[in-house]
Amino acid sequence: MPENGTARKRLGDAGERLAAAWLEAHGYHVLARNWRCPYGELDLIAERDGELVFVEVKTRRGERMGAPEEAITPTKRRRLIASTLSYLAEQGAEDHPYRIDVLAVALAPSGTLLGIRHYPASIAEEE
């Protein structure tokens, strides 16, 4: 993996760890991390109050590349929906209540956590 790819992976992994800790501190139970299927990857799968919550984590260090949540493209949205539906089908949970959230992890250039923004049910199936 190229050096900048390795740095990007380390940044993403760090953001996912922070996001998982944030979710657990807010009453969620993390069920899975980095679940993969042919459509893509689900960063975190959690459960709270009987609802499955599929979480896309976006992490940015500094503001040069914009806010983390701005990195969710229409293509990424479609892949997240397809991956979510694939997970539900694999688990036999198609009728289970669920939503797709985004957690934006903002870090200072030094790597210090600046904040986490939570966008519940921010990605919905296209109608």
Q: Is the domain covering 3-114 a CATH 3.40.1350.10 domain?
A: yes
Task: Give the number of other Cβ atoms within 10 Å of residue 43's Cβ.
Answer: 22
* pLDDT reported for residue 120: 95
* pLDDT reported for residue 62: 78
113 beta partners: 107
In 3D space, the residue among 46, 43, 54, 13 whose CA is nearest the CA of residue 27 turns out to be 46
Coil, strand, or helix at residue 112?
A: coil
Name the residue ranges covered by the structural domains of the chain. 3-114
pLDDT of 126 > 80? The answer is no
| This model's pTM is above 0.85 | yes
> Confidence class of residue 7 from pLDDT cuts 50, 70 and 90?
confident
Q: If you average pLDDT over residues 35-57, what whole number do you get?
A: 97
60-107 pLDDT, tens per residue?
987 777 788 888 999 999 999 999 999 999 999 999 999 999 999 999
